[in-house]
Amino acid sequence: MKFKKFLFVVAVLALTAFTGQPPKKTKLQARVESLAEKVEPKVIEWRHHLHQNPELSNREYKTAEYIARHLRGLGIEVQTGVAKTGVVGILKGGKPGPVVALRADMDALPVPERVQLPWASKAKGEYNGAEVPVMHACGHDTHVAMLMGVAEVLTQVKDELPGTVKFIFQPAEEGAPDGEEGGARLMVKEGVLKNPDVDVIFGLHINSATPVGHIAYKPGATMAAANAFEITIKGKQTHGSQPWSGIDPIVTAAQIINNAQTIVSRNLPLIKEAAVVSFGAIHGGVRNNIIPEEVKMVGTIRALDDDMQKTIFSRLQTIVEKTAESNGAQAELVIKEGYPITYNDEQLTVKMLPTLKDVVGAQNVHEIPAITGAEDFSFFQQQVPGLYFFLGGMPPDTPRGQAPPHHTPDFYVDDSGMIYGVKAMSRLVVDYMTKK
């Protein structure tokens, strides 16, 4: 951080501490918040439309058309077909300055909706060859609606903006279908952060367990790197009554599962960061009295530190190979390319934290522990400094701890939380561009 910028942040914090109140809003800050309130009914309407018409990863065709039509109507330069179905809007301010990117993910999930809403989803889609129900079970409909609202707000003040805004509507955050590329990785590969070159990027995720009007964040490692793995164990098939005449891949699999649990508990410095090794499925055999020839297992690795992730990879490889060898079996481990750590740039977080506190009140902004969930926003953060935070979507009358989790049929976030997202993202752009 440049020394002058550091002094500015210190001055803001000192003034807030001395007066008990944040500094008075500038005319531009006040205007964008007022414009956000005026656009709120549209944001709710857009959210209901998107929720009723969800689309799966890399299949967000109608969603993309809906977004592009809105952006073009605002006079924003629009690019479509980015990373298959992504939409990018470029808004040039009236003065020279930095390029600030804002991102919203667009895809829904193969989940049936049980929430009783007038605008509930009844959509169907195809997922890896099977027909499935489709639902916005992670709140991406709100992300799109909020960013559409931010675009409308900032367009009305573009002559006062010293810089350029790049609106990134991203497909396939939940992962591309089998055999396809997609998501933030593909957007970066196709140059979404170039022409014009992005200086910083901001993103948010609405959260069903965080109360409306609250914001949660963490500097540094915020969400885990995630890698799927597959293990194939080959033994020797035999009759279940004579196990000594074969090589049992099921017993080998059981030992691998047990031994793998020592990686986190015995090989990692857990006082530094959290980590997870979980097995999600095991398949082998066809009947009770046949020891099969082969067993396959799949699982996930989560890490919040690069060195700890390397240790997990190395130890799991050793455990798989040596455990199989000790039983006379053969085993192959494949660790798939996954998402990197979602890492909030510390200097950017310090600089923009006063903005978040000013939008929702300092008492409603909370620093939280790291989360072992994953986010492909991390691919953007590998290229440019980024800040990713969580926005409250839990209705005020919901008891703590009883909000249905994300990725479930009962998932729900309230419309009333979106105004804070529109204000926060609009203010982050304005404040980043105008802070010296």
Active-site residue set: 107, 173
The DSSP secondary structure of 47-106, one letter per residue, reads HHHHHHS---TT--HHHHHHHHHHHHHTT-EEEEEETTTEEEEEEE-SEEEEEEEEEEE-
What distances in angstroms separate CA 58 from CA 35, 217, 398, one per listed residue? 33, 29, 34
Q: What are phi and psi of 264, to 5 degrees?
A: -70, -45
Q: Is residue 414 helix, strand or coil?
A: coil
At 326, phi and psi to the nearest 5?
-65, -20
Beta strand 225-234 pairing with 330-335: antiparallel
CB 420 within 8 Å of CB 392: yes
Q: Are 199 and 384 in contact (CB under 8 A)?
A: yes
- Do residues 178 and 128 touch, judged by C-beta distance below 8 A? yes
Q: Which two tokens stand for residue 206?
A: 């609405």
Tokens linked to 128: 């890896």
Q: What is the rounded end-to-end Cα distance, in angstroms, of the chain?
A: 11
Length of the chain (residues): 436
DSSP string for residues in 128-188 = TTEEEE-B--SSHHHHHHHHHHHHHHHHTTGGG-EEEEEEEEES-TT-PPTT---HHHHHH
Asked if the bond preceding 399 is cis, omega within 30° of 0, the reply is no
- Residue (of 52, 82, 70) closest to 168 by Cα position: 82
CB atoms within 10 A of CB 290: 13
Q: For residue 410, what are the CA distances in angstroms to 105, 208, 375, 394? A: 20, 11, 22, 13
d(CA 246, CA 239): 8
Give the C-alpha separation, 338 to 388, whole Å: 19
